[in-house]
């Protein structure tokens, strides 16, 4: 039996951001770094959050987080954190600002370089302390507000996953109100990210029935409400359900993920393309579902039930239909990936942490086949 640990406090409600001053005070943060991105600042959301605070000094803001956070961006944000005398991090945004903020919180108290904390190379033994961190998601997909992991695109071309219980936010504020302004395309891509997290967590082979139950509930909510959220972004119930599906996906993937994420990470590290993680997951998922099917007869039954599908329904085909209905690309080629990039991606997919918890053993030849099928 896996270690059962659902660890950080999460306020989940419309208007949850009003609790930010209370959370800062509880954690003793008086000089936070707000890790966010330029889009959220331009939309006025950062100032909206800052206006809720009553701090003795101006708030320090890092808004240059790239779509796939890089080691260079982490270094830049850390320098700002230190020069401003910050004592904690508030992550405001989707998965990218939350991942970057977690990396800054780690390096602020444990020191660099970042790659020494690679869990596949014993890095967790080197984690000393992590600065207090509050997560405020503005999308419903990544679930990083409930996750002990983060991903960074390293300068050497790798996309590394860092996992440690100390990386859990000390407090998360999940406010579905913040997602009401998301575009249909962003809603679709992040929503399929959440659904992929739920499915891959359920299929991960470790024995953790509570995580399976959470993943199945997240899938039930996400599958029924994603189209509603895409078609009507002001649908408050659909937005609440999608944010809950996102949070539950992260709670479930304490079990691990699988080949979809290994492939998505391998493709997402390509700096020239700047591909969206959730869209990659959505496009790759059908091929991996077909590959894993022979090893997953029992969990596929429960997944079909959660999705409200008839017995024996083709899960991969249902995902393809959903992708088409919500306006996502049909394949990797439509996202700009070409077959000549497969050889470059293969070693990264094989080495990815998620490969270890795929539902079925998988190697380089399998990944080559799956990349071709997902094209």
The predicted structure's pLDDT at residue 162 = 94
The predicted structure's pLDDT at residue 181 = 86
pLDDT, tens digit (0-9, with 9 covering 90-100), for 297-340: 999 999 999 999 999 999 999 999 999 999 999 999 999 999 99
Q: Is the dihedral of CA 90, 95, 99, 102 positive or negative?
A: positive
The predicted structure's pLDDT at residue 54 = 79
Task: Decide yes or no: CATH 3.40.50.1970 for domain 10-178.
Answer: yes
In the beta sheet, which residues pair with residue 33?
60, 89
The predicted structure's pLDDT at residue 273 = 86
pLDDT < 70 stretches in the chain: 1-6
Which fold does the domain 184-374 belong to in CATH?
Answer: Dehydroquinate synthase-like, alpha domain (1.20.1090)
The predicted structure's pLDDT at residue 91 = 97
Give the contacts of 144 (CB within 8 A, at least 6 positions apart): 91, 95, 98, 99, 102, 135, 137, 150, 250
| Domain extents in the chain | 10-178, 184-374
Q: What are phi and psi of 161, to 5 degrees?
A: -100, 125
- Give the strands of the sheet with 60-62, arranged side by side: 10-12, 171-174, 133-137, 88-93, 32-35, 60-62
The predicted structure's pLDDT at residue 120 = 86
Query: How is residue 114 written in tokens?
Result: 């970042």
């Amino acid at each position: 039996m896996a270690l059962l640990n659902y660890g950080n406090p999460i306020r989940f409600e419309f208007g949850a951001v009003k609790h930010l001053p209370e959370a800062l005070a509880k954690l003793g943060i008086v000089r936070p770094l707000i890790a966010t991105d330029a889009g959220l600042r331009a939309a006025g959301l950062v100032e909206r959050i800052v206006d809720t605070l009553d701090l003795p000094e101006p708030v320090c803001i890092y808004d240059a987080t790239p779509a796939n956070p890089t080691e260079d961006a982490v270094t830049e944000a850390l320098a700002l954190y230190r020069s401003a005398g910050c004592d904690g991090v508030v992550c405001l945004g989707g998965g990218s600002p939350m991942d970057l903020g977690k990396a800054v919180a780690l390096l602020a108290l444990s020191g660099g370089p970042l790659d020494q904390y690679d869990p596949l190379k014993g890095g967790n033994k080197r984690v000393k302390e992590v600065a207090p961190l509050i997560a405020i998601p503005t999308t419903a997909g990544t679930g990083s507000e409930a996750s002990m992991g983060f991903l960074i695109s390293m300068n050497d071309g790798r996309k590394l996953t860092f996992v440690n219980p100390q990386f859990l936010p000390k407090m998360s504020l999940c406010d579905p109100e913040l997602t009401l302004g998301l575009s249909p395309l962003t809603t679709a891509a992040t929503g399929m990210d959440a659904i992929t997290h739920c499915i891959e967590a359920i299929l991960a082979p470790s024995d953790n029935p509570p995580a399976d139950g959470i993943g199945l509930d997240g899938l039930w909510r996400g599958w029924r409400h994603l189209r509603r959220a895409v078609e009507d972004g002001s649908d408050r119930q659909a937005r609440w359900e999608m944010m809950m599906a996102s949070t539950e996906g992260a709670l479930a993937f304490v079990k691990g993920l699988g080949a979809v994420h290994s492939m998505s990470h391998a493709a997402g590290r390509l700096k020239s393309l700047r591909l969206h993680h959730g869209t990659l997951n959505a496009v790759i998922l059908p091929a991996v579902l077909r590959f894993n099917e022979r090893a997953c007869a029992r969990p596929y039954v429960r997944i079909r039930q959660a999705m409200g599908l008839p017995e024996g329904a083709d899960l991969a085909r249902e995902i393809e239909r959903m992708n088409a209905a919500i306006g996502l690309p049909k394949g990797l080629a439509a996202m700009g990936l070409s077959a000549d990039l497969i050889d470059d991606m293969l070693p990264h997919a094989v080495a990815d942490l998620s490969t270890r918890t795929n539902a079925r053993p998988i190697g380089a030849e399998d990944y080559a086949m799956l990349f071709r099928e997902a094209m």
